[in-house]
Amino acid sequence: MSLRLQINLIIGTLLAVFASLLIGFQLSDTRQSVRDEMEGASVVATQLLSRIQTRTDQTSLSSMTEFVVSLGRVRAHEIELQDEAGLTIYRSPPPIYKAGRDAPDWYSHIVTPPVQTRVIDLPHGQLLLRADPSRAVLDGWDDFLPLLTTVLMGFILGNILVYMLVGRALKPIQQVVQGLHDIGQGGYDTRLPPMRGQEARLMGQAFNAMAQSVQDGIAAREKAREASQLTQVIQTRIEEVRGQIARELHDELGQQVTAIKSVGLAIAHRAKNLDAQIESSAHMVVSCADAIYEEVHQLVSKLRPLALDRFGLQDALQDLLEDARTRHPQVHLSLHVDAPLDTLADGLSTATYRIMQESLTNALRHAQASKIDMQVSLLDDALYLTVRDNGLGPSPDWAQSGHYGVIGMRERAEGLGGSLSFEALSPSGVQVRAVLPLRHNQHHV
């Protein structure tokens, strides 16, 4: 039920109550007038009865008949003369006043008071005097009918007028509802025109302010989405460049270093027992080549783990763990993967590897942890990455701009529509948790 109809029903009910009270008062006044008329008629009847009573013993039934015939109709009373057998000898004539008309029965029933009949015993019969309020009731009805017509017309016209006025008063609300509908359909530039009335004006201003906020929020969200997409594109391009550089370093520089090492070994072999200085220099070249190869290998791993492209994410994470075990044998490291990782998209695989790599590096380098647990799980169409350590915990300024590793992890997660969180553990340590949704980030191979 609309607000307009509800208000109209409330006001219509109040009008109906007012009309009912007015009609009730009118009926009550009419009933009292009829009663007063009956009481006045009773006074006349009493005087008549007194006169008849004095004549009863000396007057015959025929003389009494002549008397009542000559008397005619008494005010608001009917006179009936009966003989000893109860047969009617005489009945007073009907009223001349408004002859042939009577008020409706329902109206007469409401306004007519109880009617009493008085009986006068005669020597050879009886005289009946019965009150007749019909004329007084008819007068009341003639007065009541215009009032009833006026009340009904006023009720109908009042409801029509109220309906029109309420509709006009609620027009600003209808405009607001239409505006909300337009915004719901995507018309974020919808604005309400200036409206009459202080409340309507304030409501319109509030709506326009809300619509402007919604439009600004949508625009900001669109910019954020575009920025997220741009970040994702940049991250993808960076990974592509890293992969190219890693392959170049591995293939070209690796071969050159291997060739230098081979030449050094050959020189050292020929100079053996012939020239100790040349042999020592050759071994130094071989050592430098080994050092360069090791640095190139670590640099390639940082730029782009070749195992990620060749063998998949799970093997790349296992290589990351084994490399960390080799460099930090005193740290207890574990990796648990309870989700198939061979169907992940390239971008999601790369982001997963980088987040796990950066979390492991932070735990080893900054937290000074002695135990690190890594877990990858799949739940509710999202990939959950968790790294727990028992180190020093996150620093108070971990989210500041200088911590590029943390910012990079967060950008990777948010760029894929996910999230990244840090939680301090008790009594020490930190838990890094990333949630990466699979929708729009996964394809089957």
Strands 332-337 and 125-131: unpaired
Closest CA to 392 of 359, 424, 367: 367
pLDDT for 373 equals 94
pLDDT for 433 equals 93
pLDDT tens for the 445 residues of the chain, in order? 677 778 888 888 888 888 889 888 888 888 888 888 777 777 766 666 666 656 555 456 777 777 777 777 766 777 888 888 888 888 888 887 887 888 888 888 888 888 777 777 777 778 777 778 888 888 888 888 888 888 889 888 988 888 888 777 777 777 777 888 888 787 878 888 887 777 777 878 888 888 888 888 888 877 767 766 676 677 667 766 766 676 666 667 777 778 787 887 888 778 877 777 887 888 888 888 788 877 776 676 666 666 676 778 888 888 888 888 888 899 999 999 987 777 788 788 888 888 888 888 888 888 788 999 999 998 878 899 999 999 887 666 555 544 446 777 888 888 788 899 888 888 888 999 999 998 655 543 3
CA atoms within 13 A on the CB side of 326: 7
- Using only C-alpha atoms, the chain has a radius of gyration, in whole angstroms, of 55
> Alpha-carbon distance 34 to 364, whole Å?
109
- From residue 288, alpha-carbon distances to 157, 171, 254, 284, 295 in Å are 107, 87, 13, 6, 10
> Alpha-carbon distance 66 to 125, whole Å?
14
Helix 198-248 crosses helix 171-184 at what angle (to 10 degrees)? 10
Domain 312-445 belongs to what architecture?
2-Layer Sandwich (3.30)
What element of type H or E holds 324? Answer: helix 313-327
CB 364 within 8 A of CB 331: yes
> Cβ of 116: how many Cβ atoms within 10 Å?
10
Closest CA to 300 of 245, 255, 362: 245
pLDDT for 204 equals 81
Q: Is 202 helix (H, G, I), strand (E, B) or coil?
A: helix
Instruction: Provide the token pair at 78.
Output: 């009917």
Instruction: Provide the token pair at 212.
Output: 């402007």
Q: Where are the domains of the chain?
A: 3-169, 187-304, 312-445
Q: Using one digit for the tens of pLDDT, what is the confidence trace for 410-444? A: 888 887 888 998 888 888 889 999 999 986 555 43
pTM above 0.75? no
> Alpha-carbon distance 49 to 103, whole Å?
30
Cis peptide before 427 (omega within 30 of 0): yes
